[in-house]
Amino acid sequence: MLALQGFGGVLAVAQRELVDRRGWLTREEFIAAYSLAQLLPGPNVVNLSLMLGDRFFGWRGAFAAIAGMLFAPLVLVLVLAASYNRLSDYPVVAGALRGMGAVAAGLMLAMGFKMLGTLRRNPMGLVLCALLGLATLVAVAVLRVPLAWVVIGFGVFAWGLARWCIARQERQS
Amino acid sequence: MTTAFMLSDLPEFFLHFLTLSLLSIGGAMSTAPEMHRLLVHDRGWLTDADFTTAIALAQAAPGPNVLFVPVLGFQVAGLLGAAAAFVGILLPSTLLSLGVSRWGSRRRDTPGVRAFTAGLAPVTVGLMFSSGWVLALPFVREPAHRVGGIVLIAATVVAMLRTRVAPIWLIALGAVAGALGWA
């Protein structure tokens, strides 16, 4: 069910269900799982559902989660592929797709705003977090650097930086 | 002009997707150029237009974008092709993720894993805003849909932050608004 609601924003739906509505995960846990899912090869949402399925229900849960995430959309997209040429002529269909696209954009932005709160307790401090977040935004959205380079480059840098900050805090306390 | 796909091509086809799976950091879409090289350029199983259609369809339809891979497989070799491409692209990355995730959660309190979680959080939040921005851009750019699109985007953000409404209702609302020509 989570999957069909996705529409380019599966992630936002997963966050809403698992964190806001059911409370299975905190925002911090969600963002940690998603960071890892993003860094590993494979589709982010698939990796994420796999990890969460595994965490709560073991490997059977993991495979149930990806099957659930993929099966209905797969059938739908294959049906669409088979009938694409006929459907694309209707302006109503194009309009509906456009409307859903706008909502998908809103869902993604809203999730970004929600996750901002998790950075308050980050050991790197707010200023460094803001700089890292903004640099990522500029690299991906403005400069259009390929996602893989951003995730690996900024990821390794941020990991080193966070290690240094955590070590410094532990020396002080 | 396309070349017919033979059943004897299936192992090569499957192997290609198995390899790409481990290279697909940041999502399957990052390996699309490599798939294009094999399917369109080297082997001529698909035309350029077929390839673009597969990607557009998967992006427009609900579900993760990785679904463009089975669509490509379907275009090349029907349901068998779809199955080979999809299992190929998912199996290696899935096993790797499962292993790494278990390894990481056993070491959750070590400095290395804690630094990973803390360091990646702002990058991930930045990426969420980037995706939102990239998805919103077509509405900002196109004067015909600008006002309706922006109103719909803003209404969605407010509804998600201020209420507990499930996203499916917002998406349905977006579809209705779009079909009526408001967005």
* Digit-coded pLDDT (tens) for B83-140: 999 999 999 999 999 999 899 888 888 888 889 888 988 988 888 888 788 778 878 8
Q: Does one domain contain both B18 and B46?
A: yes
Å between A173 CA and nearest CA of chain B:
15
Q: Which domain holds residue B125?
A: 111-179
Task: Tell me if chain B has a CB within 8 Å of the CB of A126.
Answer: no
Q: Which of B72, B106, B140 is the last residue of a domain?
A: B106
The answer for A54, left when phi > 0, alpha when psi is -120 to 50, beta otherwise, is alpha
Task: Tell me if chain B has a CB within 8 Å of the CB of A19.
Answer: no
- Report the number of distinct structural domains present in chain B: 2
Q: How far is CA A158 from CA A37, A82, A134, A135, B88, in A?
A: 16, 45, 13, 11, 32
B153 occurs within a structural domain: yes
Q: Does one domain contain both B99 and B118?
A: no
Q: Does one domain contain both B154 and B95?
A: no
Q: Does one domain contain both B90 and B158?
A: no
Q: Which of B81, B106, B131 is the last residue of a domain?
A: B106
Q: Does one domain contain both B25 and B91?
A: yes
Q: Does one domain contain both B12 and B45?
A: yes
* Digit-coded pLDDT (tens) for A45-87: 888 888 888 888 888 888 888 888 888 888 888 888 887 666 6
Q: Does one domain contain both B25 and B89?
A: yes
User: Residue A7: its pLDDT value, please?
Assistant: 43
Please calculate the CA angle B154-B160-B164 and round it to the nearest 5 degrees: 150
Q: Does one domain contain both B90 and B173?
A: no
Q: Which of B59, B88, B106 is the last residue of a domain?
A: B106
Task: Tell me if chain B has a CB within 8 Å of the CB of A2.
Answer: no
B1 occurs within a structural domain: no
B contact test, residue of A77, A115, A116, A171 with most B CBs within 10 A = A77
Å between B3 CA and nearest CA of chain A:
20
Q: Does one domain contain both B31 and B99?
A: yes
B101 occurs within a structural domain: yes
Domain residue limits, chain A: 1-119, 122-173
Q: Does one domain contain both B120 and B54?
A: no
B66 occurs within a structural domain: yes
Q: What is the ipTM of this complex?
A: 0.80
Q: Does one domain contain both B12 and B101?
A: yes
The conformation of residue B38, written as its DSSP 8-state character, comes to I
What pTM does this model have? Answer: 0.77
With CB atoms and an 8 Å threshold, state whether A103 touches B115: no
Beta bridge partners of B25: A41
